[in-house]
Structure 1
Amino acid sequence: MGIVDGRVVIVTGAGRGLGRAHALAFAAEGARVVVNDLGVGVDGRPGPDSPASLVVEEIRARGGEAVAHGGDIASEEGAASLVDCAVSAFGGLDTLVNNAGFLRDRMLVNLGEADWDAVMRVHLKGHFLPLRAAAAWWRAEAKAGRPRAARVVNTSSGAGLLGSVGQGNYSAAKAGILGLTLVAAAEMDRYGVQVNAIAPAARTRMTEQTFAESMAAPEEGGFDAMAPENVSPLVVWLGSEESAGVTGRVFEAEGGRITVMEGWRPGPTADRGARWTPSGAGAAVTKLLADAQPPQPVYGAR
């Protein structure tokens, strides 16, 4: 008996990396898993095969239950079919883990509109559409007198929290996911749906170039701090009924470290009680900044 025993869980982008680790971890704790993956390369372009079925085979070989879904979750049809897949295969849906994504890194002056749109589509729209489809199903169930202890775990990034040089599109999309998480948590609470987000750091296809020097696997017997499997226990707990009462939160997860992220809060304030002059506003801001905490550095900034 695991902490998600019998729950029906969807994991998007679950063919490799973090998504695969999440899917296996949920299955190990007793969940029935819908493994979604489109089978594309790290840049989002079509790959030679789909790994979703391989993960399903792994889960079944370990005695678990899983089905594969190869639809495009950044389309209305694909997102709707994802929820339908869970309901038809396992009779319902309890947890949605939005994880799918890819990179099209460029410095801003070299970032084309197509690469901007592609990253926004998969990361931000690819979170919104499955979330909307799942939320509509949960709302209907609640109104029919069948409420579920539903959970959503969204995937942001340190780039969404702090920004990352050369990743303007990715950083903006991941920051948007945080805003979407907060709104969904507030709107869906009445239906018993909890929505949280993680900002993971792990060795995956998407990060291997960015962190190549610091992400080497340890020698045999050592703790691999960058293994994606380190992030999954938090995701499984957030996707379980044990996380009751936790919603609208953002967590960083790396190695053996979990951090509750505390977002924008009011800092030093000046109120003149009347309209400022430009020079007066500047003087006030200068004083306020002297009393404020300095911002965390953007990743990759010098």
Structure 2
Amino acid sequence: MPIRIPDDLPASSILKSENIFTMSESRASHQNIRPLRVLILNLMPKKIETETQLMRLLSNTPLQVDIELLRVDARASRNTPQKHLDKFYGDFERIKEKKWDGFIITGAPLGTIPFEDVYYWEKFTEIVEWSKHNVTSTLFLCWSAQAALKIFYDLEKVTRDDKLSGIFAHQTHHHQHPLVRGFDDEFWAPLSRYAEFNSDEIKKHTDLAVFADAPEAGVYLAASPDCKQVYITGHPEYDAHTLNSEYIRDLEEDLEPILPVNYYPNDDKNEKPRATWRSHGNLLYSNWLNYCVYQVTPYDLSV
């Protein structure tokens, strides 16, 4: 089944060229199906790229999904045309009276900035608190996972001296749980963060189940007992070139980045990187959408 997105959203033509089943709003309006309603709060600078990556993963299930894009405020973006934002992104005030099946909050390039110095921290906190009562399951990615841990559990922000960047091998735990159903014992996933997610601290100070972690990288996947909040500390949605683009950006900004590990063939930045995490990313999003959203969300969201 397809995801339903606006007819002229840039992601639509990209996904169609990849033979991914998308459905225009005009066609979907004639189907008598109750699709899942998924909201995406996109905090990433290159919003078109990020929304395409997420929709690619959300399309890989038998479920029909309606996508709505949300922004945290109306400030201009240096990396996304204002016309695109005004046309496809809504404000929180417009959607907060509705109920949602699923909610994805992306990461943000704010790893070294204290939460209280993030200009939209107050609004972000309001949205996260709102999600507890108005969303069946929320998926927090990377920076937003760290921020949500602060909001829900008062876990202090711990920042690494150097950026954790590359493709890391993670171990799967609790194989019987639906969220990791079908996972290999070990899988690869992209990380790009300054945030520290210590397994022992999270197990000690929260009620979260840790489903995947790595010795050098800490927790990768965790969830509340009812899976209403799911935390991914990496980026399974990334394309093969995304870490390369971030590495070049950091070089240009004189941040002296470390070469992403396990990423470039032979650790040669002139070699073309290959994606080794697509199957994991698709399975993770399919499991979340099926078991944490579809299987438990009410048919009538207003109830």
TM-score interval, smaller chain: 0.3 to 0.5
Higher helix share: 1
TM-score between both structures, scaled by the size of structure 2: 0.43
Higher strand share: 2
TM-score between both structures, scaled by the size of structure 1: 0.43
Which structure: larger Rg? 1
